[in-house]
Amino acid sequence: MLALGACIAGSAGAQVNTGGADNPAADEFVARGIAMRAQGKDAEALKLFEEAAEIDPGSVRVQIHLATVHQALGNWLLADDYLTVALEHQNHPYINRHRQSLDEARRVIDANIGRFAVDGRPAGAEVRLNGRLVGTLPLAKPVRATVGSYTLDVRLEGHYPSQRPISITGGALVRETVQLERLPDEPGLVAGGSPHPGRAAAALDPTLDGTGSRRWLTWALVGASGVAAGTTRGALIFREVYAGRWNDDTRCLELDRTRAEVCGDERDKVNTAEDVAVVSGVLTGMFAAGAFLNAFAFQAGEGGEAGLEGCGVGLGTALCFGSF
């Protein structure tokens, strides 16, 4: 990439007034920009080439230098823009003189740019790529983007939004289809807002249906509590078995050896079983409390202005939330 820019810059510096920019003032900025690039100062060179473009915007030579310096800086879309405009002048002497280098520039730039298209409905939905608005449905033409991973976001007021990851590859077209569904027309979801934010959020997201999700969560917590209780009981049984072996003199007493030397592994198993029993016992109580809250305590908030809206239980933690 740098060799390509140096090739064009070196030849251009030898013949400042040929093949394009006949404006002496623009030529001066171009010459200074070439000198900056020779020192590896591409950002400073870009400013000088932009000054030349303001003086002589139609100069093919200036456009090519802008393309190569943007390429060196990794500004692939801008490099593509300037090179495309310059190459429209296919028979221009400056282009003919640097044809091989410009073809290589075209190949490198194309390898770093892809395109994506979005089909679907409804019309007017905003299409954003990593938060940047790139158009509305239906897109008039595919959108260019540099190679990389992005988040495609399509949304329209009154509809469920759609977000998904997409990957742009060089020289390829990525096509996505999006169908936004309308939000349900329910009181409390209008612009004025809902007096119950927790219920409004459930209405906006069909996966948060209050009754169904609470019933499912209640039974899940009951099941988890049962598993934890079974684990506690099993751990206690194993503890008694290993404790019995530890206390068995016929097994753990030998001449010139201590009980710990003979049956130390039995004592370790006793300690492990005790630890498991304590942890699973705590989880049993937490899961049971969560099931109780989801099954009964939430009912207090169904018909009034205050009540619990949801609850979750995790390893060592419990969290409940509501409106008051």
What is the structure's pLDDT at 3?
42
Give the strand pairing for 113-121 and 173-179. Answer: parallel
The alpha carbon dihedral of 130, 134, 139, 145 has a sign of negative
CATH fold match for the domains 2-111 and 113-179: no
Find the Cα–Cα–Cα–Cα dihedral 117, 120, 123, 125, rounded to 10°.
-70
Give residue 238's pLDDT: 81
Residue ranges of the domains in the chain?
2-111, 113-179, 208-323
Taking domain 113-179, whether its CATH number is 3.30.70.260 is answered by no
The C-alpha atoms of residue 145 and residue 136 are separated, in whole angstroms, by: 16
Residue for token digits 């807002």? 193
pLDDT of 321 reads 52
Q: Please name the residue ranges forming H helices in the chain.
A: 2-14, 24-38, 42-55, 60-72, 76-87, 93-97, 99-111, 197-204, 210-247, 249-252, 259-295
Q: Over the stretch 185-229, which tens digit does the pLDDT of each residue have?
A: 865 544 444 444 444 444 444 444 445 556 767 777 778 878 888
Distance CA 151, CA 194 (A): 30
| pLDDT number for residue 187 | 57
Q: Which residues of the chain have pLDDT under 70?
A: 1-22, 186-214, 216, 296-324
pLDDT tens-place string over residues 239-253: 888 888 778 777 777
Nearest to 2 by CA among 42, 31, 62, 32: 42
2-111 topology per CATH: 1.25.40
pTM attached to this predicted model: 0.51
Q: pLDDT value at position 204?
A: 44
Long-range contacts of residues 265-268, Cβ cutoff 8 Å, at least 24 apart:
266/242, 267/242
DSSP 8-state symbol, 299: G
C-alpha 286/C-alpha 10 separation (Å) is: 75
